[in-house]
Amino acid sequence: MPNSLLYSHLYAWYEANRRVLPWRETSDPYAIWLSEIILQQTRVAQGMEYYMRFIARWPRVEDLAAADEAEVLREWQGLGYYSRARNLHKAAQTVVTNGWSPFPARFEDIRSLPGIGDYTAGAIASFAYNQPYPAMDGNVYRVVARLLDIDEPFDTSAGKKHFHQAIDTLLDRENPRLFNSAIMEFGALQCTPSLGDACLTCPLQAQCLAYAHGTAELLPVRKPRPKVRDRWFTYHIYTKGDETLIRRRENPKDIWYHLYEFPCEESPEEPLAISPSPLAFTHVLSHQRLHARFIVHRVQKMPDIAGTIRIRWEELNDFALSRLTLRALDTLRRKA
């Protein structure tokens, strides 16, 4: 078997180093699923507390399906990303409605549940049913990139495909549960993002191509992050009686195309501070950081500004407004 040396070193390391985690000591698919959802974007120590609470309160999938969504959200409080809790509840109901209790065993059925992607489906299929599916979490991507010296970004769709083909050549089809548990733990504890001296004591050194080529510290590779551009907007809120001025954004290549906002000037750099200090926000988008300030002008006569329309304040809600405008209005209303 080509990977037998890799498996024997990896499993010996795992036996000696693995943490005892309750969800790794069970083959109950419901408990494993709960733990996987709770642990997404959550540290193990914090996740443990929630896992214990959930499993004590709703020990079977039928119990969770019968719970009120509000109850589930309340129990979830503090973990953030509430869509995970909503999907958890919805998935429990789907399992019961489809007659899949305690949990589906077919990979395709598991994968079809709300909130379950390839990683979680692979984790449940392998940990609960010992089925030969990989469970590629961030730790596993890193270990695979280093073992096989793959310098392709793993977070693009082409990269993901390549990594899935790569793990396919490594996966232990006889012992997928053990293999997935061991390689995940190995990534979490030994082959960590910053390696220090880890390679010197690593039992997989002889099998590791990145170690042989001196590239381990450089892997895995992510796709280049887009540079974030700073922009400075000064919005002018003119108000006269019950009227104000708004304008539609007309540049199809820019943000908020065809949405309405107060007349605005954009400066290439941070504008000078003014007094009294206006309402100010920073609004972060994926490629841009917008620094916006809103200045209220109570005027006797509305200025003549190209492209603006004059409306009554109460008509504002009839227009599709930019996110930033809504944020400013919200703050102004709370201050009023």
Any idea which residues carry the catalytic annotation?
36
Nearest residue (CB) to ligand SF4, 64 versus 178: 178
Q: CB of residue 188 vs ligand SF4: minimum separation in angstroms?
A: 12
Residue among 34 and 219 whose Cβ is closer to ligand SF4 = 219
CA distance 112 to 118: 10
Minimum separation from the CB atom of position 205 to ligand SF4 (A): 5
* Smallest separation, CB 277 to ligand SF4 (Å): 52
Can you name the residues that pair with 61 across neighbouring β-strands?
A: none
By beta-carbon proximity to ligand SF4, the closer residue of 10 and 92 is 10
Nearer to ligand SF4, 3 or 205 (CB): 205
Nearer CB in complex with ligand SF4: 11/100: 11
Total residues binding ligand SF4 (CB under 6 A): 14
DSSP 77: T
- Cβ proximity of 228 and 287 under 8 Å: yes
DSSP strand E in the chain: where? 229-240, 243-248, 260-261, 264-267, 279-284, 288-298, 308-312
C-beta closer to ligand SF4: residue 198 or 259:
198
Helix (H, G, I), strand (E, B) or coil at 53: helix
Q: What is the 3-state secondary structure (H, E, C) of 171-182?
A: CCCCCHHHHHHH
Which positions ≥6 away from 143 have C-beta within 8 Å?
A: 183, 186, 187, 191
Calculate ∠ Cα 177-182-184, nearest 5°: 100
| CB nearer to ligand SF4: pick between 18 and 248 | 18
Residues numbered 107-166 forming contacts with ligand SF4, rule: CB under 6 A: 146-147
Residue 178 CB, nearest distance to ligand SF4 (Å)? 18
The H or E element spanning position 96 is helix 82-97
Are 201 and 147 spatial neighbours (Cβ–Cβ below 8 Å)? no
CA diameter of the chain: 86
Phi, then psi, of 88 in degrees rounded to 5? -60, -45
Minimum distance between the CB of residue 182 and ligand SF4, rounded to whole angstroms?
A: 12
Residue 178 found at the interface with ligand SF4 (CB under 6 A): no
Q: If you count them, how many residues does the chain have?
A: 336
Which parts of 186-225 interact with ligand SF4 (CB under 6 A)? Answer: 190-191, 195, 198-199, 202, 204-205, 208, 210-211, 216
Shortest reach from residue 203's CB to ligand SF4, in Å: 8
Helices and strands, counts by H and E, the chain:
13, 7
Q: How far is the CB of 2 from ligand SF4 (least distance, A)?
A: 17
CA dihedral 12, 13, 15, 21 (to 10 degrees): -150
What is the sign of the dihedral through the CA atoms of 209, 172, 27 and 107?
positive
User: Where on the chain is the footprint of ligand SF4 (CB under 6 A)?
Assistant: 146-147, 190-191, 195, 198-199, 202, 204-205, 208, 210-211, 216
